[in-house]
Chain A
Amino acid sequence: QQPVQSPQAVILREGEDAVINCSSSKALYSVHWYRQKHGEAPVFLMILLKGGEQKGHDKISASFNEKKQQSSLYLTASQLSYSGTYFCGTEWGDDKIIFGKGTRLHILP
């Protein structure tokens, strides 16, 4: 069963902030976040491990709420290069990573 991502799509102007959510129906061990440009391979953003930690670099960060079985990706002061589809991948203690359907993000100049 895939994790549920929301929203499905977002349109922003450059400089605006965005939040992408990822919810799981089962207890999470880890959450991966990737960004994919059209026709290209997904690119790794970060992994969050069981424990509720928040990680980030530059203007992209994420949180992991173990109790709520969800993770959120935060994009602040968005840049044109942030456009793409964002996927969360969840691991439930069974050594495989299951991805959500993705959130399409489009940044307007």
Chain B
Amino acid sequence: DGGITQSPKYLFRKEGQNVTLSCEQNLNHDAMYWYRQDPGQGLRLIYYSQIVNDFQKGDIAEGYSVSREKKESFPLTVTSAQKNPTAFYLCASSPGGQVNEKLFFGSGTQLSVL
């Protein structure tokens, strides 16, 4: 079945450590997105990519980095510069990169700080 897969489901980060969240899709979608969700804050856009080898910052990109070397993969690295990384992270994709198309979401990764 086609879908979007995030891993791991739970992740713990130590102080000063970089961690990478995986997002893979087999829907042949061009666009991919990373959102951060905190209680009462909704979904806030971190980074998005409309096409392979290109990506743009969202509203809260500081302390995060991404790559889009392959169409099906859009990993998110939470760097040590992100001082408050505890949150639920959601990856999403859409077919042609047009914003009048629905987003398909992964099941999310809960990141916590040790």
Binding site for B on A (CB under 8 A): 2, 5, 29-30, 32, 34, 39-44, 47, 49, 87, 89, 91, 95-102
Contacts and interface: CB of A to CB of B under 8 A. Distances in A.
A32 B92 CA distance: 14
12 contacts: A29-B99, A29-B100, A32-B103, A40-B107, A41-B108, A42-B43, A91-B100, A95-B50, A95-B97, A96-B33, A97-B45, A101-B40
A30 B99 contact: yes
B50 A30 contact: no
B90 A101 contact: no
B102 A47 contact: yes
B99 A41 contact: no
A99 B33 contact: no
A42 B90 contact: yes
A73 to B, nearest CB: 15
A33 to B, nearest CB: 10
Contacts of A87: 42-43
Contacts of A101: 40-42
Interface string B62-85: 000000000000000000000000
A96 B48 contact: yes
B33 A30 contact: no
Contacts of B41: 101
Given A5-B42, A98-B45, A98-B59, 5 more contacts: A32-B102, A44-B103, A89-B43, A96-B48, A99-B42
B105 A96 contact: no
Contacts of B40: 101-102
B95 interface: no
B31 to A, nearest CB: 8
Contacts of B100: 29-30, 47, 49, 91
A102 B35 CA distance: 14
Contacts of A49: 100
Nearest to A33: B102
